[in-house]
Amino acid sequence: MTGKDLPALNIADLQFLLRRRQVSPREVLDALQARIEDVDGEINAYLSLDFEAAAKEAEKANIDLPLGGVPIAIKDIINVAGQPCTCASKILHGYRAPYDATVIRKLRAAGAIPFGKTNMDEFAMGSSTENSAIKLTHNPWDLSRVPGGSSGGSAAAIAADEAFGALGTDTGGSIRQPAALSGVVGFKPTYGRVSRFGVVAFASSLDQVGPVTKIVRDSALIMNAIAGHDPQETTSLNQPVPDYTAGLGTDLRGVQLGLAKEYLIEGTDPQIKAAINAAVKHMTSLGAEIIDVSLPHTDYATAVYYILATAEASANLARFDGVRCGYRAENPKDLLDHYGRTREEGFGPEVKRRIILGTYVLSSGYYDAYYLRAQKVRELIRQDFAKVFEKVDALISPTSPMPAFKFGERTANPLQMYLADIFTSPANLAGICGISVPCGFADVDGHRLPVGLQLLGKALDEARILQIAYAYEQSTEWHKVRPPMAAAMHKA
C-alpha cells in the first residue's frame, strides 16, 4: 500500500494499519491532504482546511485510543476552536470559533483529528447544498448533479475519498439524504443522544449530530466517541451509552422489519422502488421477517416539519444582529437600519424565506392555526411510530424519492425541494434514530446514481439499527462500488 492508496480506506481498515505501525498518523494526514489537493477543485467539498494544526495533532496522536490518529471532516455548522464556522453564510464571514463543541471535545478525547470544515446549505437549510453562499459542491458520481444536503460537503468528501469519516447534522434528513444521493452511509441518532452544545442551532427540537462514513462499522465507531450525556445541554439524554460495535455481525434471524404502506408513494423513482424491493427481498433471505404496517399521518409530515422548523429557525437566527459576531452593515443610520440591512445583506435567499415563514406562523393571529396545530399533528406522528415499534424492530423505506438531481433543477420551486425530505423528516419529528445505507443504483443519462435504503428505529435503539444495517451491507457489494472519478483517480 502506498500513500496514494490510503484515502480510499475506511476507518476500520485505516486503524488496522495504524495499530500495526505500518503507517503513521502524519503519513495518513499527508496522504489525505494530497488527495484533497488533487480532487477538491472538482468536488468543492471543503470550505476551510487547517493541515498545519492537524499535523501538530497527528505528531502526538495516541493511536491506541478508539479513533487515535484518524482525521475526521466536520460540517461547518460545528464549532472547532480556532477554525472558521461559517454555516456557509455570509453573515458569519470572518467568525472564528472561540471554543470546541462538545462533539469535537469528545472526538479529540477519542484521538480523532479535525482538519477541515465541509460545505453545506446555508444554516443547514436545504436538500442539495445549493443554498451555500460560498460554493457549489458536486456529486462525485456525476459532477453535473448535487450531492444532496444539507450535509452535502460531508457526504461528497466521503464519496470522493477526501475524508475517512465526517460529522453532519440532521434536522429533516440532512445526514441521511445526502448520504443516499452520494452513495455513502449516514446515521441520525435519537434526539438528545449526541450533544448539540457548540453546534449552531437551526431547529432546536429537531437538530441532531451524527456520522457520515464509508461503511456502517465506521458510523458505530464514531457514535461510540460522540454519544452521551452533556450537562451543558438541557435536551441531552442522561442514558448509558452501549458499545455500538458490539452487536455488529449478528444475523437477521428473528428480526422484524416494518414496511409502511404510506412510504410506497406515487412519485418515487421506479428504479428506487425496484432497488428497495430487491433490498427487502434480500433482508428476507437473511432471515428477517417483513411485516406490513401503517403510519397514517405520514402525509402531513412535510407540512408539520416546515412550520415547526421555520418557526424555530426564525427564533434561533434572531441572534445574528451584527453586534456580537459576523457581518455588520456599513454606516447604519439607526439601530433598526443596522439590524434590517445587516440581516438582509448577510442572509441568503432560502434563509430569508424561512425566517419570513417562521415569523409568520408564530405571529399574532396565526400561531394557533399553524404552529400549535403543527405541534399537535407532530404528536400524532410520534404516536404512529410508537405504535409501529411495538410490532417491529425497524422500518424500511427509501431514503429519498429521487436520485441525485441536476444543479438548478429544483431551486425555482421551494415546495418541490421541501418534498425531497418526505421519507426523512418524520424521524426528526418523532425524535427517533435512522440510517441510510447504499442499496443499488439508478441509471440516469448514462450515469450510475446511488440509491439509499433507510432503516428507522425507535428512540435509543441505535445499536439495533446499526446491527441490521451492518448485516445488510456486509452481505451486499454496494458499499464497495466507488464513484467513477474516485476509481479513475486512484489508478492514475
Q: Segment 136-165, which members bind other proteins (CB under 8 A)?
A: none
Residue 205: CB minimum distance to other proteins, A: 4
**Where are the extended beta strands (E) located within 393-482?**
394-398, 433-444, 447-457
302 to 361, contacts with other proteins by CB under 8 A? 302-304, 306-307, 314, 318, 321-328, 332, 334-341, 343-344, 347, 349, 352-353, 355-357, 359-360
**Diameter of the chain by CA atoms?**
70
> Does residue number 94 form part of the binding site for other proteins (CB under 8 A)?
yes
Q: Which stretch binds other proteins (CB under 8 A): 245-253, 392-400, 428-436, 461-469?
A: 428-436
Residue of 99, 253, 274, 294 that binds other proteins (CB under 8 A): 99
Would you say 213 and 207 are in contact if contact means Cβ atoms under 8 Å apart? Answer: no
Of 156, 160, 85, nearest in space to 123 by CA: 85
- Judged by CB under 8 A, how many residues of this single chain contact other proteins? 76
Residue 193: CB minimum distance to other proteins, A: 10
Residue 229: CB minimum distance to other proteins, A: 11
Residue of 60, 415, 477, 492 that binds other proteins (CB under 8 A): 415
Q: Which is nearer to other proteins, 246 or 369 (CB)?
A: 369
Q: Which is nearer to other proteins, 125 or 156 (CB)?
A: 125
The conformation of residue 138, written as its DSSP 8-state character, comes to P
Q: Which is nearer to other proteins, 106 or 297 (CB)?
A: 297
Of 490, 478, 483, nearest in space to 140 by CA: 483
Q: Which stretch binds other proteins (CB under 8 A): 90-98, 101-109, 116-124, 245-253?
A: 90-98
Alpha-carbon Rg of the chain, whole angstroms?
A: 21
193 to 222, contacts with other proteins by CB under 8 A? 204-206
128 is catalytic: no
Strand-pair category, 394-398 with 165-169: unpaired
> Does residue number 287 form part of the binding site for other proteins (CB under 8 A)?
no
Find the helix or strand (DSSP H, E) in which 308 lies.
Answer: helix 301-316
Of 103, 71, 96, 61, nearest in space to 81 by CA: 96
Of 342, 308, 340, nearest in space to 325 by CA: 342
Query: What 3-state class would DSSP assign to 317?
Result: helix
223 to 242, contacts with other proteins by CB under 8 A? 231, 234-235, 237
CA–CA separation, 219 and 436 (whole Å): 11
CA–CA separation, 276 and 282 (whole Å): 10
Q: Which is nearer to other proteins, 182 or 424 (CB)?
A: 424
Residue written as cell 409501529?
A: 388
Query: What 3-state class would DSSP assign to 77?
Result: coil
Q: Which is nearer to other proteins, 360 or 407 (CB)?
A: 360
Residue 244: CB minimum distance to other proteins, A: 20
Query: What 3-state class would DSSP assign to 239?
Result: coil
Residue written as cell 458536486?
A: 138
> Does residue number 433 form part of the binding site for other proteins (CB under 8 A)?
no
Within 169-291, residue ranges assigned H as helices are 176-182, 216-226, 270-285
434 to 463, contacts with other proteins by CB under 8 A? 459
- Of 150, 182, 314, 436, the catalytic one is 150
Residue written as cell 427487502?
A: 280
C-alpha cell at 366: 396565526
CA–CA separation, 311 and 315 (whole Å): 7
Would you say 186 and 176 are in contact if contact means Cβ atoms under 8 Å apart? Answer: yes
CA–CA separation, 486 and 483 (whole Å): 5
Q: Which is nearer to other proteins, 372 or 487 (CB)?
A: 372
56 is catalytic: no
- Of 89, 154, 174, 182, the catalytic one is 174
150 is catalytic: yes
Residue of 37, 42, 64, 98 that binds other proteins (CB under 8 A): 98
Query: What 3-state class would DSSP assign to 198?
Result: coil
Residue 187: CB minimum distance to other proteins, A: 18
385 to 414, contacts with other proteins by CB under 8 A? 413-414
Q: Which stretch binds other proteins (CB under 8 A): 103-111, 156-164, 261-269, 426-434?
A: 426-434
Query: If phi over 0 gives left and psi between -120 and 50 gives alpha, with beta otherwise, what is residue 254?
Result: left
Q: Which is nearer to other proteins, 72 or 430 (CB)?
A: 430
Residue of 243, 251, 292, 379 that binds other proteins (CB under 8 A): 379
Residue 35: CB minimum distance to other proteins, A: 32
Q: Which stretch binds other proteins (CB under 8 A): 45-53, 276-284, 377-385, 462-470?
A: 377-385
Residue of 369, 387, 443, 480 that binds other proteins (CB under 8 A): 369
Q: Which stretch binds other proteins (CB under 8 A): 109-117, 175-183, 278-286, 427-435?
A: 427-435
Find the helix or strand (DSSP H, E) in which 158 lies.
Answer: helix 152-159
Within 317-444, residue ranges assigned H as helices are 335-346, 349-362, 373-388, 414-418, 425-430
Q: Which is nearer to other proteins, 11 or 422 (CB)?
A: 422
Residues with catalytic annotation? Answer: 75, 150, 174
